[in-house]
Every structure is written in structure tokens, then in C-alpha cells.
Structure 1
Amino acid sequence: MTEDDVLIIGSGIAALQFAVQLTDDVNVRILTKEKLRTANSYLAQGGIAAALGKTDHPGKHMIDTLEAGRFHNNQDVVHEVITAAPDLIKNLDRQGDIFDKNQKGEWLLGMEGAHSEKRIVHGGGDATGKNVMENLITRLKQRCNLSVEENCFAYELLLNTEQTRCIGVKAKTSAGTIQKFYGKHIIIATGGCGQLYTYTSNAKTVSGDGIAMAYLAGVEIVDMEFIQFHPTLLYINGETKGLISEAVRGEGAILVTDDGIPIMEGVHPLKDLGPRHVVSQRIYEYLKKGKQVYLDISTIDNFRKRFPSITSICEENGIQISNGKIPVAPGSHFLMGGIKTDLIGRSSIDGLYAIGESSCTGLHGANRLASNSLLEGLFQGEHLAKWINKTCKEPYEIERSPYNFVPKREKLVCLPDTQQIKDLMMERVGIVRDEVNLKKQQAWLNQFRAESIHLDTCSTEETTKVFMLCIAKLITDAALARTESRGGHFRSDYPREEDHQWLRKSIIHHYYQGMEKSNEHIETALAT
């Protein structure tokens, strides 16, 4: 058994920003499912959004964020995060050579979809996530009182006897042994759930673990129907091979058919730089008809220099950049919902926090504005660290005999194949949804009763499947309940936004002591 002031589950940009901002007198332990560098943040290409341009202003950035989020956002959160963005970038820039600049030392600002100004700060061309993460990892190694447990799969939160406070987590080591970790503050920073879908830009480790753990512990989960599908993943022979950043369209690339016809003409005022859900749905329409869609990059000068990572991904998969066309398809990219938290990161259970994509503060609303995710991680990491630095000195004794809920049954159900979970989610709860398919998926998921499986008896692979089934059910149930289309949630049987019924209203999931409430609880969302 180990005991720390702060226990962090996950190792993305939010987790590491949080860790490096804590004072040296705070004992910190990071648990990561694989390695520090296998986090989603490390793969991020586009950049970080901040109003740094001469003609830009945080007010413009806020308007773009609200418009992309279809006004489902928490406006107070949007104001605080977006206003802080320029200083966050400037402070990070002082830590090292992270971002691309011109010869005058000015940031090279890029354009991405649904932005009204060039405001995307990037590093290494299209390797922003890697640049920021390497900087944070370097600073992490300089910290005192910090340890990192790699290949350590956290799978169950530990609560106190009264079930009112989170006091630790159970995890399986690489050797297969179960170990308990205790802490005064437990932080979930495990990212989203992109691996629930056949096509995704996400790292292989991102399957909703942290959100599922929180849900099974009785924490409130919100807005799970809002899944952002990135319009452009490299698509070859029915498989996606990697992300093609939105920044490529920001530099002038357009979406075309095999015979060169632009597909976004007349669809949205911003055409190829329209909101991601609009562009994804348009590409999806063509793919359903058996027509391939391409990114025409022929107008972009020095593509190799501007996008070295994308060039490598393409050439590794037999696509020659010199041909001027990249075959693309949409895939799951970002979860707007997650563990319901305030801006500090506090969840509905004391002692448990969530930051980054695993949390839902209301910043993104129904659809994330491009490049606001790394910004959110940086902000939340710093914001929570400041709060912990003040409160961690308060006396507190960790309870060593946690409450242990014994599920109704052991592992009796034969779990489905992982690929089947992905394929059925893509088919029935993907880019375009309807009642018939959602009810089919709901019935299929209910048969497994994943919430009541005793995880101590499961292998890591089986536990991952259980978490995937839990998250799939949350998404499916919420998508069925929301009878409108908004942001990342599109219902072909309810194709319009229904403001009178659904504007700023959220679907919140509860699960207590293994007994899920039979009815969804719908209440006014974080925004007002």
C-alpha cells in the first residue's frame, strides 16, 4: 500500500501541467496505463488557441467557442478560460523553445475551422502536443517528491466507509498483481473514449477508463452524447491510419471528390473550415454512397516543411504528397462530456477531481472549437494546482479501511470482442444516429450488465472491455434521450436544434452501489 498527498491517474497535458505546478512539499504519484509518452496529448498536431494576433481579442475567441458549442457552453467557464489563454501561452513560452516563430520572434499563428481569426499557436509545424509534452516531462524530472508508475492500470476507485469521499484507487501492475494506492487528493486525467469507435484519431490507450471508474463509484457523468468526429483521418482500404490536422484546411486545402468537385460549396458559409460536425456529416454522406473524399493540398506551398508529421504518416502508408490529394474519412476525436466538475476540477464526490478531456466543465458545450483542448488542459492543470497548493497543507488523515462494494455477481457473462464493440458503436451511435439504431444498441449493451462485473477477477483486457461497455451505454442512453441535433450529436430523425426543450440542458448519469437509476435525470446544465 502506498500513500501520497496527490495521486494522478493519467499522463496527458492536463496531468503533467498540474504536476509541475505543485509545490515541492506536496508528495505526488502518477499512475499511467502505459508510458508517459503514449497519451493523446502527445499526438496533438494542430496547436493551442489563444487570442494573440494584432486584430484578435478574447471576446472574438469566446464568440467562436460558443458558436461551435451551439450555445450549450457554460459561459462563465468560457470567459475565464479564454481570457486566460494568452498569458498561459506566454508563460509556457518562457519555459523553452516550444512554439514556431518568424525571424522577428513573433508567433506564427494558424487558422482552423470555425475560428474567425488566425489564433492557433503551433510547435514543430504539426507536432505541438509532442513539443509541449516533452517540455513538461523535462520539468517533471526536476520535481522533488514525485514518482511515476508506468504500465499501471487503475481500475477501481476506493471510497471511505460513508461513501462520501474518494481516498484511493486499485490498480493492476505489469506483473498482474493488484495494488492499492491512497491519497488525499485523487485526480482523474485519463482522457476521453475515442477507442470506442472503429475509426479514431485517439491513442490506443484511450478507452474511457477514468470516466467509467468514476461512474461506477457514483460520480455524476454528464453530456456523454456529444462526441466530436474529426473530419479528416487518413483513410486507406477501409482503415484510418492517423490524423490529418484541421490546420491543413486552415492553410488552404479543400475537400473534393475523386473528380475534383468541392464538396463544401453551399453547405456552410465557412465552407471547408465550417464546424467539425458539419464537415464530418458531409464527408460521411459521400462515403455512405461509396464515393471517396480527398483533401486537395495542391495549393499549399512547402507542405513538407509546414506539416512534417503528416507527411511522414502519409508516406509511411503509401500516399505521395506530390500527388496533391490525401484520402480522408471522419473518425471519433474528442469527447465534450465526461465527469461533471466545476472549474477547479472538483467532482460530485469529495477528494476526487477530473481534469482534461475526462472532465466536463462546460467549456466546449456541444462541440469543441478546434485547438481549445490543449488550452483547457493547460488551464485546468494550473488552476487545480494553485488550489491544491493552498489546501494540501490542511491536516487530513487518510482512512485505511475503504468501503468495498461487492457486486451482485462475479464475471459470468462472455464479453464481446473489442472490435465488435467498436463497429457497432460506429454503425449505430456514430456520426448519424436515429431511434431505431440507438434502441438496437441499447438492447445489445444491456445484456452484458457490465456495471455489475467484479473487476478484481478480470484481466486488463477484460477490464478494458467492461469500461468500454459502460461508456458505450452512457453514450447510447444519452443519445437516445436527447431528441434533437446539436453539435456533435446528430439525429436524422430529429435533425434540428430544439432550443425550447434542450438549450443548455444536460443528461446526467448516476450509478449508486451497483444500482443504476431507471430514468435519466435531466436538469439545467452548467451554463445559464
Structure 2
Amino acid sequence: MKMYNCIIVGSGIAAMQLANHLSDQFRILVITKSTKRANNSYRAQGGIASAIGEGDKPAFHFQDTIKAGCEFQNEKEVHNLVEHGPKLIEQLKKSGLDFDKDDKGQLALGMEGAHGQKRIVHCGGDATGKYIMEHLNSTLRTDIDIVENRFVYELIIHPTTKKCIGIKAKDENGHNESYFGHQVILAMGGIGGLFSITSNDPSVAGDGIALAYRAGADIVDMEFIQFHPTLLYFKGKTAGLISEAVRGEGARLIEESGQSIMAGKHLMEDLAPRHIVAKELFQQRLAKKEVYLDISMIDRFEEQFPTITAMCQSNGVSLKEKRIPVAPGCHFLMGGIVVNSVGQTSVDGLYAIGETASTGVHGANRLASNSLLEGLHYGKMLANHLNEQLIQKEMEIPFYNPSNSTTVNVPLLPDKEELRAKMMAYAGIIRTSSELKILHDWLSKYDESILNDLSLDEYSNETLQLLFMLQVAKLITTSAQLRKESRGAHNREDYPSEDERWGQIHIVQSKKGTEMRERQNEYHQVEVNA
């Protein structure tokens, strides 16, 4: 049995940034559900937000981030994020990552929604995520163990110390494996796979949040889910993301007649914050109107956006008419596992970084291109923290007696596609009390609690995936029901206004119960072991 200093679950930008910055004295395992390239980071098109342009300052980036997030953030964490942005870009340059440059040989900076100026650093036009991930993968130490196609289904918690000491996983054939380590880090992405229309990789379905919840960690703000306004939509299906950078270059959202959709709806029109644009497009689609992205004003579109061009061509969408059919879909979770400034959760030995974690930097709505920045920032912050805590002694796993139950009493679970459709219909872009109650009542027919006190070892990968999806769907629905206001990405048609009182409350859920906790600027340090 191999013992590790660090077990990293996930293979996106936060995971690989962490692995690259950990001490070479660490024994490291990177274990991932699919292949190491099947993640949302690899799909990212736009780029990394960073205040490096002439006349730009981290203070301006801070202001835009706070405004986009409806002032619901941990301001200290936002400050640290934007201050470290330029340094992170410089480090990537020095390590050999080739960012796109302008005609003067300077870094080319793009414009995206809710930003006050151009500050989006990118690679390969619209293939930033792919370039960064290939770079981070290529610079990994050769002695790091990488295990692909493993479904992590349980965190091993020592019954006496209550410390997380490892993970259980299943291979593609459902065979069980156990891995032990000093520290376990969840970097498993968000919850896009819970919705029928999403920009996410299909493998991303809230597993990290379900694992943490089952282990007793606090989960917060699950109602804040960002829906990206522009997914390629053709013949009733979505086929991938159309980056906000396209609108940053001047593209407009139009109806079939060519009339602008966002004109007069917001001061920034097509570059308004994502939740505002997504809501407008959703209402258009409710009215059975087609929505397009007019790209006629963008010269050399195919050269600037080769990934989007290839995606359109492979899905039979011609660019000759200079318009791309789009629809909004689930994109990013602002809530998640409660962590402190270095990613530590309320469970000893368990950390979370990336979209799985709720760091406090995004508030009620994430600012465009802050996601890759967040992954880079917290990956490095956690590495620095763990390096300072370097454990050089041999790994010793205290004796514990895991359940050896072979009783397989599979509970009634929903059909995966029906679950995804209902989440999109009732917990999607615009929510109401009545529709959330319909969803809550439907989810309540399925009881996942039967598995809480049983060993999961004998259950199939498919059953466990549905169990996790059901658990996270209930967390989202409960939070959405409790927040009786509209704020950021949480749109309640029956409570259309922001409320000063609700703007100070976090909805926290754990196996101990659900509570509404008053916000503090240091909120994400509350009840977390320092």
C-alpha cells in the first residue's frame, strides 16, 4: 500500500498549480475521475484576468470584482487575489508559457463583461485553458503518480481523531482501491453536470461537494450558480462555450430580426455582468425567440477565435452569415466547500481549492476570467502552506476499523437525465418559490440517507454518481428556497429585489443541519481549523 504526503483529487488548473509548487520532498498522488485533460480548465477560452495593462491597477480589478459579485465577497481574499494576479502572470511567462502578444510585442489584453478595461491575458486566441493546462502538465515532476479514470467515492475519516487520512476510489470496472495520505485536497470542479444545458465537461457533477458534505464539512452559498449567456445552441442542443471575449471584441446579441437584445437593458449593454445578460437571453428563449451573436464587426474572426470556429464547423453551424446561435447554460458555482485563505476546510486534513471551494472571492456572481486566476492563486497559496508544514517522517496510518458491510440495499434514485432536466427547469436562471417547491418535493421522493451509515464499497459507479448528484441537487434547492431575494446569479422572480438584510447572510449546510449565518469580512475563516 502506497502512502502519500498529498493526495490531490482532480486535474484542473488549481490541482496542477498545486502539484507544480509542492516541495520535491513530498510524495504526491494526482487522481482524477476521467483523463487528466477532461476538465473545465482545459475548456476555458477567455483567459486570465490580471491588472497588468497601462493605466490599470489591482485596485481597479478589485472594484470590478466586488461590483460583479454584488459586494458579497470576503474583501480581504479579493484583495489578495488581484494583488497576486500580475505576479502569477509573470511567473507563468518565466516558466515558458507563451501568451498572445500585440503588434508591439506586448501582452495582448482582451476585454470581457463587467471589466472596466482590457485586462484578459490569453493564449492561442481562444484556447487559453488548453495552453495553460498543457504547460502545467509538461512541467510536473516525473515522480508524481497520476492515476486516471478513478471515481473517488469516499473520504477516509479516522473514527477517533476525525482526521481525513485518505480516499476510496473505484476503477472503470468498479474495483475498489484505497489511498492514504497526510493531506487530501479536493480540486474536482463545480456542478455543471447537474444541469441539462451546461458549458462544463460532462464528468463535472459536484462530486467534491458531496464527498465533503458526507465527511461533515460545511457547505455554503449553493444557490449562487452562474449561467453563462452564450453557449453554442443548434438544433435544440448546446455544443460548447462561446467565450465572452467575442463580445469583448464588439459582437452583439441580437434577435432574428437583427434588433439588439441588450440595448437599454444595462449601461454596459452586451458586456453587462453575466447574470444580467443570461436573464435577458433566458426570457427571450421563454418567448420562443431565437438568439444570435452578431460577429459581423469582427475582422479575421476565424484567426482570432480558432477554437470557436472549429466548434461551429464541427457542429454544422456556418459562419457565412456572421451570426452564431446561442443560449444560456450552467457555467460556474460561486458557493461550495467552506475554506480559509489556504484552502483548509472544517475537517482536519482536508483541503479544497478551485471551483469546488468557496473562497469568498466571487460573491454572488463571478467576474469573467477570475476563475483561472483563482485556481492559480489558491493552488500556490496552499502549496506554500503545505511546504511550510513539510512532514518528512514516514507515513503512519493510525489503526482504524472501516466498515466491512456487504449489504447492498440500493435506494430508489432518479434517472440522471430527468434530474438534469428538472434542475434546469426549476433551479435554473430564473427561480420561483412554487417551482423550487415542486423540485424539492420531487427530490424528497428519493432518500439518499440510507447510505450514510453503510459502507459504499459494494455499490456501482453509476449508483454512487446518482447518489452524489441527488445530494448536491438537494443542497442547491434548499439554499435557493431559503434565499428570499434576487442577488447576483440567484434570480427569484417572486423576490426580484436585493434585500439589505439578506445581503448579510450566508446559507451554510452540513450533516449537522442548515443555518443562516451573518456575514463577516473574515467569514470563510469561521469554524475552520487554522
TM above 0.5: yes
1:163/1:282 Cα in 2 relative to 1: closer, same or farther (>3 Å)?
Answer: farther
> Is the CA contact (8 Å cut-off) linking 1:362 and 1:526 kept in structure 2?
no
Indicate whether 1:484 and 2:478 are aligned.
no
| Between 101-110 and 328-337, the greater mean CA deviation after superposition | 101-110
Aligned to 1:43: 43
3-state SS of 1:168 partner: strand
Structure 1 residue 394, shift from structure 2 partner: 6.2
**Counterpart residue identity of residue 52, structure 2:** L
Aligned to 1:11: 11
Number of residue pairs matched by the alignment: 519
Within 5 Å, give how 1:98-109 maps onto structure 2: 98-109=98-109
Structure 1 residue 303, shift from structure 2 partner: 0.3
Indicate whether 1:369 and 2:361 are aligned.
no
**Counterpart residue identity of residue 467, structure 2:** V
**Counterpart residue identity of residue 474, structure 1:** L
**Unpaired stretches in structure 1, ≥5 consecutive residues:** none
Aligned to 2:226: 228
Aligned to 1:335: 333
> Is the CA contact (8 Å cut-off) linking 1:157 and 1:217 kept in structure 2?
yes
> Is the CA contact (8 Å cut-off) linking 2:41 and 2:129 kept in structure 1?
yes
For residues 52 and 154 of structure 2, what CA distance do their matches in structure 1 show? 42
**Counterpart residue identity of residue 44, structure 1:** A
> Is the CA contact (8 Å cut-off) linking 1:77 and 1:361 kept in structure 2?
yes
Structure 1 residue 398, shift from structure 2 partner: 4.0
Aligned to 2:132: 132
Percent identity of equivalent pairs: 47
Aligned to 1:218: 216
Structure 1 residue 403, shift from structure 2 partner: 6.1
Aligned to 2:379: 381
> Is the CA contact (8 Å cut-off) linking 1:18 and 1:385 kept in structure 2?
yes
For residues 277 and 406 of structure 2, what CA distance do their matches in structure 1 show? 45
For residues 395 and 314 of structure 2, what CA distance do their matches in structure 1 show? 54
Deviation track 1:373-394 (CA, whole Å, cap 9, x = no partner) reads: 0000000111100111110236
> Is the CA contact (8 Å cut-off) linking 2:4 and 2:395 kept in structure 1?
no
Within 5 Å, give how 1:125-164 maps onto structure 2: 125-140=125-140, 143-162=141-160, 164=162
**Counterpart residue identity of residue 325, structure 2:** P
Q: 1:279 aligns with which of 274, 277, 281?
A: 277
Structure 1 residue 34, shift from structure 2 partner: 1.0
For residues 288 and 527 of structure 1, what CA distance do their matches in structure 2 show? 39
Deviation track 1:110-129 (CA, whole Å, cap 9, x = no partner) reads: 00000001000000000000
For residues 21 and 292 of structure 2, what CA distance do their matches in structure 1 show? 43
Structure 1 residue 98, shift from structure 2 partner: 2.8
Aligned to 1:325: 323
Indicate whether 1:510 and 2:504 are aligned.
no
Within 5 Å, give how 1:84-123 maps onto structure 2: 84-123=84-123
> Is the CA contact (8 Å cut-off) linking 1:182 and 1:398 kept in structure 2?
no
For residues 327 and 142 of structure 2, what CA distance do their matches in structure 1 show? 45
> Is the CA contact (8 Å cut-off) linking 1:407 and 1:452 kept in structure 2?
no
Aligned to 2:460: 459
For residues 449 and 9 of structure 2, what CA distance do their matches in structure 1 show? 21
Indicate whether 1:426 and 2:424 are aligned.
yes
The TM-score normalised by the length of structure 2 is: 0.95
> Is the CA contact (8 Å cut-off) linking 1:451 and 1:470 kept in structure 2?
no
3-state SS of 1:30 partner: strand
3-state SS of 1:322 partner: coil
Structure 1 residue 401, shift from structure 2 partner: 3.5
Structure 1 residue 146, shift from structure 2 partner: 1.1
**Counterpart residue identity of residue 523, structure 1:** R
1:395/1:526 Cα in 2 relative to 1: closer, same or farther (>3 Å)?
Answer: farther
Deviation track 1:318-364 (CA, whole Å, cap 9, x = no partner) reads: 11112111010000000001110011000001100000000011000
Name the Cα RMSD after superposition: 1.6
Deviation track 1:403-426 (CA, whole Å, cap 9, x = no partner) reads: 647999853323221110100000
Deviation track 1:183-216 (CA, whole Å, cap 9, x = no partner) reads: 0010000000101001000001100011100001
Indicate whether 1:521 and 2:521 are aligned.
no
Aligned to 1:390: 388
**Unpaired stretches in structure 2, ≥5 consecutive residues:** 523-530
Structure 1 residue 99, shift from structure 2 partner: 1.1
Structure 1 residue 94, shift from structure 2 partner: 1.2
For residues 520 and 317 of structure 2, what CA distance do their matches in structure 1 show? 45
3-state SS of 1:463 partner: helix
3-state SS of 1:300 partner: coil
Within 5 Å, give how 1:208-357 maps onto structure 2: 208-357=206-355
For residues 126 and 478 of structure 1, what CA distance do their matches in structure 2 show? 34
Structure 1 residue 397, shift from structure 2 partner: 5.2
> Is the CA contact (8 Å cut-off) linking 1:156 and 1:213 kept in structure 2?
yes
Aligned to 1:25: 25
Structure 1 residue 400, shift from structure 2 partner: 4.2
Aligned to 1:474: 475
**Counterpart residue identity of residue 81, structure 1:** L
3-state SS of 1:37 partner: coil
For residues 12 and 520 of structure 2, what CA distance do their matches in structure 1 show? 25
> Is the CA contact (8 Å cut-off) linking 1:112 and 1:120 kept in structure 2?
yes
